[in-house]
Amino acid sequence: MGFISRFRLSAAIKGGKYDKVVALLDAGGDANENNSSGVSALMLAASSGFGDIIHVLIDHGAEVNSIDQNGFSALLHAIHGRNPEAVKALLDRGADATIEAADGTTPHDLALKQQEIRSMKLLMAARASREN
């Protein structure tokens, strides 16, 4: 995907423009394309809190557990952005809540630090369901 197409996909994601994201992906956009910091389209959607866009990106092949240059996964981006809806969407689609950032921060650590109660509850529920 060229720079212009990548920019359009990023802009559509940031703007929460679901239909535009779908159209760009259907036209050959790469759901795994990263910017210069290693931030993927999925991470951008997670940071912005757009669960519907998270689902469509994963449906188009986005890797749910990829990490950026700081070791942040999309799940960590969602928690950092204070977006529990995105946390839920990612966990529902198989995000690994044990992936640590480069500094050793886990999703649970970050949710606790930011006092993100809803995200902490989602992470605990996901862990409990995996243990059963």
Condensed to tens digits (0 to 9), the pLDDT of residues 64-81 reads 999 998 899 999 999 999
Give the structural domain span for 31: 3-131
Tokens of 96: 């690994």
CATH code, 89: 1.25.40.20
pLDDT-based confidence at residue 132 (cuts at 50, 70, 90): low
The number of folded domains in the chain is 1
Q: Is the pLDDT at 2 greater than 80, yes or no?
A: no
In degrees to the nearest 10, what's the CA dihedral of 40, 68, 118, 11?
Answer: -30
73: helix, coil or strand? Answer: strand
On whether the CB atoms of residues 67 and 77 are closer than 8 A, the answer is: no
pTM of the complete model? 0.90
